[in-house]
Every structure is written in structure tokens, then in C-alpha cells.
Amino acid sequence: MSLPRVGFIKLDLQGMELEALDGAQQVARCHPIFLLESRRVGREHLRAFLDERGYKLVEAGYNLLAVHKSDPVVQQLQLPDMPAQSAA
């Protein structure tokens, strides 16, 4: 796949999210935002995997929203240990 950039990926793979993330190395170079269903996979495993790759995580019900620390969107979100920035 030769996409110039992937900005957002939603994964709900019935517990196979870690395997999909591990196999998505070409897409991961873009540091897309991920929305991951984490009910059937260990949330702590997902957290560790994404944290090692520079993602900040927000719990959203059964999902995790993962935004890479280099993404400008981080400045617009209230993320753990990273207060939202004022637009003014």
C-alpha cells in the first residue's frame, strides 16, 4: 500500500488488536490516531505497546484513543499528564 499518509485508524478485531498493530509497521510510520476497542484484549498490554511507541492514551468507554505525542492534535485534547493548550 503506497498511501502518503494515514491519519486515523479504528480497530475492533475481537481481541486481535495487538497483532494488527504489530503487523502495521508501514502504516505506523505516519503515527496515525488510533481508536481501539480494548474490551477483549488486555488494556494494559495495549497501553504498554502504544506507550513504547510514543502515544498518549485517553480512555473512552471500552475504547482507547491513542494520539502520538508528535501529532498537533495532542494540543487540542485533555490527555493524561498533558493539559490542553489554550487557543488564545
pLDDT digit string, tens, across residues 44-71: 888 888 898 898 888 888 888 889 998 8
Element holding 38 (H helix, E strand): none
Report whether pLDDT(82) > 70.
Answer: no
Q: What is the mean pLDDT of the chain?
A: 75
pLDDT band at 1 (very low <50, low <70, confident <90, very high): low
Q: What mean pLDDT do residues 22-41 have?
A: 76
Percent of the chain with pLDDT over 70: 72
Q: So what's the pLDDT on residue 18?
A: 75
